Amino acid sequence: MRWAVVLAGGVGSRFWPVSTAARPKQLLPLAGERALLTESVSRVLPLLPAERVLVVTSRPLGPAVRRVLPDVPPQNVLTEPFAASTAPALAWATALAAREDPEAVVLS
C-alpha cells in the first residue's frame, strides 16, 4: 500500500519576518487560505486515506500540527526529539510505515 510522509519541521528562517517561532511557516496561510501544512496534506488525501499519512514535525509544533490536521490520526504526527534534517526524518517515518505494512511504498 502507498503511504505519504509530509515533512513539517524546520524553523522557516527563509520566510522571516513572516515566519517566526511564534508563527511557524507550517501553520501560516502561504499558498492559500489555509495553513501551508493543511494545504499540503489536502493534496495527498485524494490519493490515500489519512490513516496512511505520516507527518514529521518538531516536538514544540506537535500539538498545533495535530489541531490543523484533524483527519490525520494523532499517532501519525511524529514529533522529532531533536532536529536531525530531512534524511533521518524520512528514514524514521519510512521505518514506521514498513512496520505497519512490510510492503509499504512511501511517497514524500
Give mean pLDDT, residues 41-70. Answer: 96
Q: Got the DSSP string for 40-101?
A: HHHHHTTTS-GGGEEEEEEGGGHHHHHHH-TTS-GGGEEEESS---HHHHHHHHHHHHHHH-
Q: Is residue 101 within 8 Å of 1, Cβ to Cβ?
A: yes
Residue 54: pLDDT above 90?
yes
Give mean pLDDT, residues 69-77. Answer: 97
Q: What percent of the chain has pLDDT over 70?
A: 100
Interval 2-37: pLDDT, tens: 999 999 987 777 878 888 888 889 999 987 899 999
H/E run at residue 37: helix 36-44
Q: Could you tell me which residues come within 8 angstroms of residue 44 by beta carbon, excluding any fewer than 6 positions away?
A: 4, 6, 53, 107
DSSP state at residue 15: G
* Sheet bearing 77-80, strands edge to edge: 77-80, 53-58, 2-8, 105-107
Average of per-residue pLDDT values in the chain: 92
DSSP state at residue 103: T
Q: Which three cell numbers stand for residue 15?
A: 520566510
